[in-house]
Each structure stands twice: as structure tokens, then as C-alpha cells.
Structure 1
């Protein structure tokens, strides 16, 4: 992630496909669609249903509307959100709507057996359920499906239960919800807050407020409009990894700060933080990344999403 081969982010292709589709969908919803938007969305979805599956294939697949899709909740949630956006923008066709309905039904059934599902193997990052929760809530709303809406609400309620733990929102749990990595992290809060806000769920406020209050600072002092977010709680010196990206200036995470751009844009209470995070991104050289997006496509797509995203 973040242009560093030493921090390989194996799901990067899926995220690029999805976030580029979110950008295109939002442009269409805002009344200034990119030329050939529908064709581009179909190409991104085809890539997500094709080569972007590879990092998830080791855990087996399940048949959904003629496709064999990985069982990862992260993968299924992202694809569901891509389909939700296409539906929301009025750009769906019979095939994409059929897949939207079938994937939502399959997720509802899987969640009825186990509410927190793995991302890879048996590893469960609760934050990775946030795209699935948002996708189900949107499917329930857009398709008038009570089962999807109820499953999405149950999943959000479980995420809130975990956030209410004395140690905060855990990074990892097991299949029974027992703590595996209990430390609350900036990336997981920003990620969860942003995706729940895409579905206009009020619980998003909880995660974004916790992020801003506990992890975001003005590293150059309060007089300078530059903000960044920590990966680890204040006083905790945790390691860098593929989620956090590089930790700079005493523990500020490029991953958490990038995701916080989206989370704060979607928050009615944190608009100034959003602007200050954007200022810091510019100072750190995001302009060069945007001039050559093919060199760092994940960073470019996440930034583009974070600066355009609105609730659906």
C-alpha cells in the first residue's frame, strides 16, 4: 500500500476497481457523468469478478448468479456496494440487478449462520464487515428488500457492540467474537465510519467521532491547518503494516489519514478536519500521485473517493 512494495496490500486490485466505480457513480449522481460511464462501470465490475478475485480464491468459492465468487466478506461487500452504486445511479441492467439481488440474498443467508465472517481464511477483521453492511442496507432500500435491510442492521448492531468494549473497537476477533487483537486502530475506525456513512447509517458518527477525538491531531500545532491521524492510540507504539502504511512524524499513519479524508467528508460535524486533512495530503505530495495515477493507483483512487464521496 502507499507505493511501498514492502507493505503489499493484496486486495489492492479489488479496492481500485471498487473505488473507481464509486467515483464514477458519484459523478453521475452529481450531474456531471464521465463519458461512457456505464461501459466503464461494467469493465470495472468485470475486473472485480475476474482477476481481482485471485487473492481471495484460496478459501474456496460459492455460486452466485452464474459466477463463482470468493467467500470473503470483504470481497462480497465490495462487489455488493459496486452493484448498489450502479443501481442507485440508474445505470443497472438486468444482469447486474440479478447479481445484486442474488449476492445480497447469499450474504443474508451466510450472516444468518455466522454474523462476523472472515476476510481471509479464518481471519476476521470486524471493520471488513462494514462494506457488506452498507451494501445490504442499500440493497434493502433500493430493492425494497426487508431481509437485506434487517441483516444490514444486525451487522451494524454487532459492530457497535464491539465498539462498546472497554478496549474499544477491536482489530481482530474469532468466529465467536472473542478478542484476538483488541487494540483499537485508526484505519479500522476510519474505514468503518466511512462505509456506514455511505449507506447513511447514523452509527457512522460513532466511529468517525472516536477516530477524530482519539487519533487525529494537528502535528504542526493548532495554528496550522494541517491534520493527520494516528494508527495506534496515543502512547502506544505499534508497528507499521499493510493497513497502516508508513508511520511518519511519530506515529501518524498514511493509511488512517487517507481513509479519514472520506470519513470526515461524510460527517456533518467534521468538515474542518476534512479540509485540514486535504491540506496535509497536498503538503505530502498527493498532487504528484494524481498527475501519474498509474504509478500509485490505490492511493489515487482512495483519494479520489475521499474527495467526492457522498451518502447514497
Structure 2
């Protein structure tokens, strides 16, 4: 058993760690509120924009979607992996790594064997992880330092240019979708080529029955909306990941604080038992010494 001095040192260390995790939980909770507000405002906008594009492109096919809707044989793939800049968020980042590995194994095993799978890492953790394992495209470790549409737009434009120029035949995004504080869901979404529009489930009015007055032409409107929609899709994924990160960190720090409390109880119990044993030994030594003195007289 460790001596009392070592146990006191461990108690002080665990107590300091508990204070740190408690403070990190409060910081994550404050950041989560802002991040949650941002994603809740973005979701209706992104859904409405996709709905408009679906209505406009209904029946138009690649003629309307243009260069971003061209379906080619998938030889080269770009995966956009979105993680955080920092750790201490439970399995938040490792789930993205597993999600990328899973999508490669299930969909792009042949391309990976040929060395034709590239990764665009958004977030320092993804950059560090995939930088040691394969070809990285771009450097977007700064995105979360000042998160805004402009900082994400550069990444979207690079991915769009790569697809348009034939450097990549397919572009997918892997990220954590925010559900609630305790739950984040790994999502894999195809960014390019643009998927054909699908009828919304339970929609009261079919997309083909929606009538628009086009000014200028329908093609010009769609041509300007599609790049914006692709950038919004990536920006929404980054906002989802940002909210998920703070939720995961808040949950992880809350659990770490509870575990520290349980460890403190155990250490204090061990310390009190050791202290009582030491006092008992001292009493026994005094009594034994007194009896020895009395016997020698």
C-alpha cells in the first residue's frame, strides 16, 4: 500500500484535474449554445435551397446541373473528413477516422489499392491523422479558428474545381451530425457529382407541380445556384461537426468530472484507513513500551 504522503499527492492531483474538467465542461457548454443556434438557423436555409434546386432541375438532368452533375467512371476519389482541432472529446474524432475507413472499404477499395483516394482534412486532428497515412489535398487546419462561410468556401471551391477539371470523379463528406448533447451521428454524404432530385417524402405538392417565373433564364439561375448550394452543403456539414464537437467534449468532461469524484472518494477512504492504521500502530507501540517499562521494574 502507498504511504500517506503519496496518497495525499494523488488526492491533490485528482482534485486539480477535476477542477480543470469541470471548467472545460462549462466552456464547452457555452460554446455549444452558440454552435447549436448556428446549425439550427442553417438547416432550414439549406433544406429550402435544396428544395428550390430540386424543383428547378426536375426533368432537366445533366443539362441543368452542368459540369457538377456529370457522372463518370469512379477512378479517383476525394474524401472530405471533418474533425476538430483539439482532442478531449471522447470518440468524436476517432469516429470520423473509422467512418472514412469504412467508406473506403465498402465503396472505394479498388481506388484505394491503386492509390487514387485523397483526403481533404478540415480540422487539425484529421490533418495530423491522414497526413501520416495518405495524400492530403489542401491545408484547412485554420477553419475552426474563425469559423465562417468564407473560411469554408475556399475548401468547397477547391473540391469543386478538382471535380470540374477531372482530378476527382467523386467527392464525399464524412462528418459528425449533431443530434443532441449526448448523441452525434457519423454521416457520409456525396457532394459531387450532384445526385438527381428525389421527391420529398410526404410532400403535399410534388416538385414538378411547382411553377416559377424565371428571370433571367432557368439555366442561368440554376448555374448560379448550384455552386452556392454545394458550398452551403459543405458549410452545413462543418457547422454540424462544430456543434457535435462541443457536445461530445461537454459529455466527455462531465463524465471525467464524475470519474474524478469517484476516484477522490476511493483515495480519501484509503487515506483515512491508512491514517487510522498508523495511529493504531503508534498506540500499540506506546502501550507495548509502557508494559515493557513496567515489567523491567
TM-score tier by shorter-chain length is under 0.3
TM-score normalised to the size of structure 1? 0.23
Q: Which one has the bigger strand percentage? A: 2
Greater relative CO (CA pairs within 8 A, separation 6+): 2
TM-score normalised to the size of structure 2? 0.24
Tell me which structure has the larger Cα radius of gyration.
2
